Structure 1
Amino acid sequence: MERTIRFYKNAKHEWYADIPEWNGDIADLQMVEGADELLNWIAAKSTECKLMMADAHFEDAELLTLVYAREENLGGGGDYLLETFKGETKNHKLWLCEVTEFVFNELPERIYFKQLS
């Protein structure tokens, strides 16, 4: 499955995913626990970015690898590892909440992504 998702930073400098079909609380779309830091790297000084995201490899994609699926009482979703970014070693850990399962219809073992211009 491939999906393009827009991410934006609000006036408080908090990152959110723009997922129009999400019927839950907007707070569920906030990017926290390392995902916000990754978006800062991707967007640089911009306040938004669009990412092509997929659960299968595609050309020039970066890779997030699932290291731990969280139980619902711990927030659900999963902890992922970004080993490298743009060829630089990062070993950056981040959490993607249960919205990830909503988008992909599962919690993918691997999420491939790249910024779209």
Structure 2
Amino acid sequence: MERAIRFYKNAKQDWYADIPEWGGDIADLQMVEGADELLNWVAASGDECKLLMADKHFESSEILELVYTREENLGGGGDYMLESFRGEIKNHRVWLCGVTEYVFKQLPQRIYFKDLYNL
């Protein structure tokens, strides 16, 4: 499964995923617990970025590795580790909520991604 997803900052400078078909609460699309920091790195000083994301490897992709699946009472979704980003060691933990399962139809062991705005 492969999908391009746009991420944007709102007026409060909080990051959100732009998933038009999402039928749930907009708050579910807010990027928190490390995902917001990752998007700051991707977008540099910008307020928007677009990531090609996949559960299969593709050329020039960064990798998020699933390290822990959260119980629903702990927010669901999974904790991922970003070992490196653009060649720099990060060891950065990122929580991706249940919307990840909605997008991928599962919680992938690895999520491969790259910035489509700055190729």
Instruction: Give the alignment's TM-score, normalised by structure 2.
Output: 0.98
| Per-residue deviation, 1:41 | 0.3
Per the alignment, residue 65 of structure 1 pairs with: 65
| Per-residue deviation, 1:115 | 0.2
| Per-residue deviation, 1:57 | 0.1
Q: How many residues align?
A: 117
2: CA distance, partners of 1:39 / 1:100:
16
Per the alignment, residue 106 of structure 1 pairs with: 106
Q: Does 1:20 align with 2:25?
A: no
CA deviation map 1:28-82 (0-9, x unaligned): 0000000000000000011000000000000000000000000000000000000
CA deviation map 1:12-40 (0-9, x unaligned): 01000000010000000000000000000
| Per-residue deviation, 1:111 | 0.0
After superposing on structure 2, the runs of 4+ consecutive aligned residues of structure 1 that deviate more than 3 Å are none
Q: In structure 1, give the amino acid aligned to 2:47.
A: T
SS for the counterpart of 1:50 is: strand
SS for the counterpart of 1:100 is: helix
| Per-residue deviation, 1:87 | 0.5
| Aligned-residue RMSD, C-alpha | 0.3
2: CA distance, partners of 1:87 / 1:36:
20
2: CA distance, partners of 1:44 / 1:87:
16
Per the alignment, residue 29 of structure 1 pairs with: 29
Per the alignment, residue 76 of structure 1 pairs with: 76
Per the alignment, residue 10 of structure 2 pairs with: 10
2: CA distance, partners of 1:99 / 1:39:
17
Instruction: Give the alignment's TM-score, normalised by structure 1.
Output: 0.99
2: CA distance, partners of 1:76 / 1:98:
6
Q: Structure 2 unaligned runs (5+)?
A: none
Quote the sequence identity (%).
Answer: 76
Q: Structure 1 unaligned runs (5+)?
A: none
